[in-house]
Every structure is written in C-alpha cells, then in structure tokens.
Amino acid sequence: MASTTVVLLIRHGENEYVSTHRLAGRTPAVSLNEKGQAQAAALVKMFAGQPIDAIYSSPLERCRETAAPLAAARTQPVHLLPGVLEVDYGRWQGQDLRELSKLPDWQQVQHFPSGFRFPEGETLREVQSRSIAAIEGVCRDHPNQVVAIFSHGDVIRTTLAHFLGVPLDLFQRIVINTAAVSVIAFHDGRPQILGMNYLAELPRFEIKQAEAEQQASVEPAGVGQAATQDGRTA
C-alpha cells in the first residue's frame, strides 16, 4: 500500500552562542535566549491547524526547549532522536567562528567539506549519514503521518543537500536560520522538498560595508557563515 510521510525539519531557536558567533556544538546546558523563546512560541502559532502526529528532537537542551511549547500545546511527548544530534566539532566546539575562519582548515570546510574531519570530531559525511538514517527510520514508523523533528543548522543543511541531490561539498549554499522550518514529503520513500527555511517572521536583511565589496548578511547558520572581523560573512 502506498504511503506518504511529511517531515518538518526545524532548527532550534536562538541562544547566546548563535548571537555571539560562537560554535556551541554539543556544549551542555546551552539554553534559548529571550529571542529563542519567542521563536519557539511563534512556531506554535505557525503550526496551528496543521496535523502533527509525532514530535522528535535532538537530545540537546536548545532543541528540546524549542520543541517544548509545541508539544505542550498539543499534549504530545517529545521523543529524543540521537541521529539528529548536533555535529561533533571536536576541538572547535565553543570557539569564536570569527577566529576559526582565520585557520587554514577553514578553507577546506568551505570548499571541500566532504573531505574534512573536525579536529577530534566528526566528518560531515558521518553527520549526513546518521541524520538520513534517523529520518528514514522515523518515516518507517510513521506512514501517512506528519512528523516534526527539531535539530541543528548544519545537520539540517547536510540532510537537505542529500535529499535535493546536491553534492555535500555544496551544502554551504543552503541557509537555515534559527527556528526555520524545512519540509520534505516522502512518497513510498521517494523524497520531495516542499519548502526550505520557512520563517514565522522574516529576518532583518542587512547590507554590511567591507572595503570595496558589499554582501547581504543574515544570522549565522553554522560553520559556513561566520562573521569575520571586517564585517563580511564567510
């Protein structure tokens, strides 16, 4: 019998690591800030009237806190899904992205990420593989249902790249803001991307002057968008 599962991939809300350009990684006890709490509340309104049959989350606090208002509004439990846990950034965890962008390894992350292992951490191929496996498992468990999965920017971006048929080395082209929603429908296992980076409220688009060039900037989404000292995004 044919079946369809709709997966809502939702990035956690803002926290102080995001707002100060630090790479939180798997740092424990990273909670939502005031803006992040407002974003989590806005998701409840955004999904009003939408059928959601199950809610899953990365085990980290910032994802569980983002999922909590939606789960409470619907009196549903939040199931932990380790496969969509944040990237293990190894020694880069907790560091300032503006400083990391000065390292020689940064260029490999930008231009050949599929071949890079974070120092004492994971490769993005490993991240992508475990996330895909977790989502496919959720689809098998929820035929003909809509499922919300709360995860992290780089996890979502590498996952979307796979289902879009985009090489992992180009995943940096995908932008996922905090509390943004991306939607994948699986028809008998075949993926269709219905939307990416939906926001309850548009971000403020800011043009930053940097020497002779100008570049549009939005919130940093992960290792691909660190604000450098001269104001550009990398």
Residue 39 lies in a domain: yes
89-123 residue pLDDT tens: 999 999 999 999 999 999 999 899 999 999 999 99
β-strand partners of 207: 216
Residue 227 lies in a domain: no
Instruction: Give pLDDT < 70 ranges for the chain.
Output: 202-203, 205-206, 209-234
Residue 226 lies in a domain: no
Q: Which two tokens stand for residue 42?
A: 């806005």
CATH assignment at residue 99: 3.40.50.1240
Structure confidence at residue 11 (pLDDT): 98
Structure confidence at residue 201 (pLDDT): 72
Range of the domain at 42: 4-217
Residue 195 lies in a domain: yes
Residue 44 lies in a domain: yes
Residue 112 lies in a domain: yes
Select from 159, 151, 174, 166 the least CA-distant residue to 223: 174
pTM (two decimals): 0.88
Q: For residue 217, how many other CB atoms are within 10 A of its CB?
A: 18
Task: Compute the distance between CA of residue 31 and CA of residue 37 in angstroms, rounded to an integer.
Answer: 9
| Number of structural domains in the chain | 1
What string of H, E and C letters represents the secondary structure of 52-120?
CCEEEECCCHHHHHHHHHHHHHHCCCEEECHHHCCCCCHHHCCCEHHHHCCCHHHHHHHHCHHHCECCC
Residue 54 lies in a domain: yes
Residue 68 lies in a domain: yes
